[in-house]
Amino acid sequence: MISGLTPREARSRLNLMGRLLYDARSIDLWKRDTATLPRVFRSMRRRYRAFAQREIAPLALQADLDPPSVDIKGLFLKSAREGFQTELTPWPIGNARYRALFHSLIMAPALKAEEFCAACGGLGLALLAHDLGMAPLFASGDLRALFKWMRRIYREIRDGEPAIAAYAITEPNAGSDVEETQGASRARISCRARKAPGGWRISGTKVFISDGAVAKWITLFAALEKEGMESWTCFLLDKGMEGLSVGRSERKMGQRAADASELILEDVFVPHERVIGPLRGGWAINRNVLNFSRPVVGAIALGIARGAWERALDFCHQTRMGNRPLISYQDVQLELADMLAKIQAMRALVWQAVSYRVPFQTASSITKVFCSDTAWEVCNQAMAILGDHGFLHCHGVEKAARDARLTQIYEGTNQINRLAIVEGQLGAEFKIGDFYAP
Ligand SMILES: Cc1cc2nc3c(=O)[nH]c(=O)nc-3n(C[C@H](O)[C@H](O)[C@H](O)COP(=O)(O)OP(=O)(O)OC[C@H]3O[C@@H](n4cnc5c(N)ncnc54)[C@H](O)[C@@H]3O)c2cc1C
């Protein structure tokens, strides 16, 4: 290389003002990006990363091979001791920082998702699904839900109980249909609530519920007897209730450390005080919970992709080919650069989506779709770089690909999220008129 042409050398030829305007430092992007955050998030991001590297990463491969061997509740309590499981709301309910909420309602979950899932998508999901389970208590705007139930659950957690919450909308015959307007209008709902003295009796089945087996609390949505989806109502259940049991836990392709389980309800009595938000307010709560959580799914995908990239980079430094380190080959560098560019674009999109004062459907679905599709691409590029080693479990890259694939499916498949993007902009960019028919 001709001396004097590198960015650093070139910069040194400028006067002081020129040098101040030319940043040619070699600093990794994680540090650079962290420095752009408001102060409150900088320290949180560092703490999430430290926890993920210390407590999650060492368990990742084992949790993928043999999920039951990992103590999810123990890990949850370790995370809770850091304050990470009670931070959707500030004092006097939870321990979110007011300054953080002033900047963004969901930046903290998004930062946490990236760091936890860079270490392990499955364990990350097992910890993050709790925030999703708690979200209806917050998004309902119901003060009783906040001050009675959320405060109680958070107190249990602070007292050392693994009071994990799960979110239950999906049913055997209604997956996409409970996530999208057109489908909802003709959904075949099985979970039904029948009026009873002092409350409701609920029967039916929910499936694929993340943390369904380990959760104590469940925010569950059911239609009222003889009514359609417009009657959907959110109920807060707990595992101590008679008639509520856990059925099958699925054998999954990815994010295997987090269980996806069936919940069976046989005439479960739920008192009135466990109705979250208004009667028939469940559909609105569900739609808005998804607006809050889809950018976080984007961040899960981002974390998984970053984890795969870091593992591929490490492999390229450690491995020699033709008596040279793999990293010294330019076509390998091109591939790594392409992956890094995609990861950076994903992060920019997540951070932009969470910066809206209140998350909304279009931006949330765009983030979920773009990040999950891109994570799948990045993980496959990482596998290609590792060659035959990409196919081995021990490197964690094929695991990352399997983990990433799920982000294209849950919280609405990416097809359903694309429909949500159109719906969110109907009357704005998409003026479709009568042609928008079921
Ligand atoms: C591991 C895992 C964890 C999960 N965790 C949870 C959880 O914690 N809580 C919970 O409630 N749910 C959870 N789910 C459920 C998840 O959100 C649903 O699986 C998802 O919404 C898709 O629903 P479905 O599987 O019923 O697919 P279906 O609705 O049967 O869709 C099948 C196919 O048809 C397409 N499709 C359907 N309708 C349309 C349409 N109108 N236009 C175009 N294409 C369409 C879909 O995109 C898909 O490709 C989880 C799922 C998995 C796999």
pLDDT digits (tens, 9 = 90+) for 60-113: 999 999 999 999 999 999 999 999 999 999 999 999 999 999 999 999 999 999
Q: Ligand 1 center to residue 256 CA distance, Å?
A: 17
Query: Which CATH class for the 284-435 domain?
Result: mainly alpha
**How far apart (Å, rounded) are the C-alpha atoms in residues 401 and 203?**
37
Q: Ligand 1 center to residue 412 CA distance, Å?
A: 5
Return the ligand 1 atom nearest residue 411 CA.
17
Average pLDDT over residues 35-40: 96
Q: Is the pLDDT at 290 greater than 90, yes or no?
A: yes
Atom 35, ligand 1: which residue's CA is nearest?
415
Q: Residue 232: what are its φ and ψ, rounded to 5°?
A: -50, 135
Pocket test for ligand 1, best of 410, 411, 423, 436 (most atoms within 8 A of CB): 410
The whole-chain average pLDDT of the chain stands at 96
Cα 261 to chain centroid distance, Å, stands at 18
Q: Ligand 1 center to residue 183 CA distance, Å?
A: 12
20-34, 42-56, 178-192, 235-249: which has the minimum mean pLDDT? 178-192
Contact 257, 213 (CB under 8 A): no
**How far apart (Å, rounded) are the C-alpha atoms in residues 382 and 103?**
34
**How far apart (Å, rounded) are the C-alpha atoms in residues 190 and 394?**
42
Q: What percentage of the chain reaches a pLDDT higher than 90?
A: 92
236-239-243 Cα angle (round to 5): 95
The finding on whether 169 has its CB within 6 A of some atom of ligand 1 is: yes
Give the CA-trace dihedral at 362, 363, 369, 373, to 10 degrees. Answer: 150
Report the half-sphere exposure of 239 (CA within 13 A, side-chain side): 16
Per DSSP (E only), the strands in 280-399 are 320-321, 324-325
The finding on whether 406 has its CB within 6 A of some atom of ligand 1 is: yes
- Write down the pLDDT at residue 432: 75
- Write down the pLDDT at residue 427: 84
- Write down the pLDDT at residue 180: 87
Report the half-sphere exposure of 201 (CA within 13 A, side-chain side): 8
Residue 130's nearest CA partner among 88, 189, 173 is 88
Report the half-sphere exposure of 317 (CA within 13 A, side-chain side): 6
The CA radius of gyration of the chain, in Å to the nearest whole number, is 23
* Domain extents in the chain: 29-158, 165-281, 284-435
Average pLDDT over residues 354-381: 98
44-148-277 Cα angle (round to 5): 95
Under the banding of pLDDT at 50, 70 and 90, the label for residue 4 is confident
The finding on whether 286 has its CB within 6 A of some atom of ligand 1 is: no
Contact 244, 206 (CB under 8 A): no
The finding on whether 175 has its CB within 6 A of some atom of ligand 1 is: yes
For residue 320, give the 3-state DSSP assignment. strand
Q: Ligand 1 center to residue 243 CA distance, Å?
A: 26
Under the banding of pLDDT at 50, 70 and 90, the label for residue 435 is low
| DSSP string covering 76-113 | HHHHHHTTTTS-SSBTTTS-B-HHHHHH-SSHHHHHHH
**How far apart (Å, rounded) are the C-alpha atoms in residues 358 and 194?**
34
Q: Is the pLDDT at 433 greater than 80, yes or no?
A: no
Under the banding of pLDDT at 50, 70 and 90, the label for residue 438 is very low
CATH architecture of 165-281: Beta Barrel (2.40)
Q: Ligand 1 center to residue 290 CA distance, Å?
A: 13
Q: Ligand 1 center to residue 267 CA distance, Å?
A: 26
Average pLDDT over residues 338-343: 98
Atom 25, ligand 1: which residue's CA is nearest?
175
What's the fold here for domain 29-158? Butyryl-Coa Dehydrogenase, subunit A; domain 1 (1.10.540)
Return the ligand 1 atom nearest residue 166 CA.
8
Average pLDDT over residues 53-61: 98
Under the banding of pLDDT at 50, 70 and 90, the label for residue 257 is very high
Atom 40, ligand 1: which residue's CA is nearest?
416
The finding on whether 424 has its CB within 6 A of some atom of ligand 1 is: no
Contact 342, 336 (CB under 8 A): no
| DSSP string covering 216-274 | SEEEEEEEETT--GGG-EEEEEETTSTTEEEEEEPP-SS-TTS-EEEEEEEEEEEEGGG
Atom 1, ligand 1: which residue's CA is nearest?
260
Q: Is the pLDDT at 183 greater than 80, yes or no?
A: yes
